[in-house]
Structure 1
Amino acid sequence: MQKTPAECETMADVRAEIDRLDRALMTLFAERWGYIDRAAEIKRPLKLKADVPARVAEVRENARRNAIELGLQPSFYEHLWTQLIDHAIAHERKLLGEDLQ
């Protein structure tokens, strides 16, 4: 049974909820990755590049704004999202054959 932080009475409770959330985050990352693959499929016939600087800036700013709205440290989450973006671009480059050029 899911508990809020305030409902956790033991470290075991806290750890169980963190593990539950980590699994949920991984599920969301896996879903996000499906969209990265699809983006490459759509970009290929359009001859679009993996790296679209305007979109990268937009996603980074979204991460920063969302962090602020949720009371999180914006610089940390912008950095985290930058790593996600860089990893996705590298993956798209492989799928698009850009890393062979």
Structure 2
Amino acid sequence: MQKTPAECATMADIRAEIDRLDRALMMLFAERWGYIERAAEIKRPLKLKADIPARVAEVRENVRRSATEFGLEPEFYDRLWSQLIDHAIAHERKLLGEDQG
């Protein structure tokens, strides 16, 4: 049964909840990745590039705003999302054939 941090009485409880959350995060990352792949499929016939700077800026601003809203460090999550974005753009470039020639 899921516990809140205050309901955890032992380190085993804490570890179980962290493991549960890590798995849930991976499921969300996998879901997000599906959208990245679909974006490349949609971009191809539209002749759109993998890297759309205005969208990258928008996503990073959204992350910073959400981090602040949840009491997290915006700079840390901006750096983390920057890596996610860079990885997604590199993958889209491969799918779109932008990394050839």
1:1-101 correspondence to structure 2 within 5 Å: 1-101=1-101
Question: Where in structure 1 are there 5+ consecutive unaligned residues?
Answer: none
Paired residues, number: 101
Q: In 2, distance between residues paired with 1:58 and 1:45?
A: 23
Write the letter of the residue equivalent to 1:19.
Answer: D
- Superposed CA RMSD: 0.4
Q: TM-score scaled by structure 2?
A: 0.99
- TM-score, with normalisation over the residues of structure 1? 0.99
Q: Secondary structure at the match of 1:100?
A: coil
1:41 aligned partner, one-letter code: E
What amino acid is aligned across from residue 51 of structure 1 in structure 2?
D
Displaced runs of 4+ in structure 1, greater than 2 A? none
- SS at the partner of 2:55? helix
CA apart distance, 1:27: 0.1
**Structure 1: how far apart are the matches of 2:86 and 2:63?**
14
Query: By how many angstroms is 1:28 displaced?
Result: 0.1
- Code of the residue aligned with 1:60 in structure 2: it is R
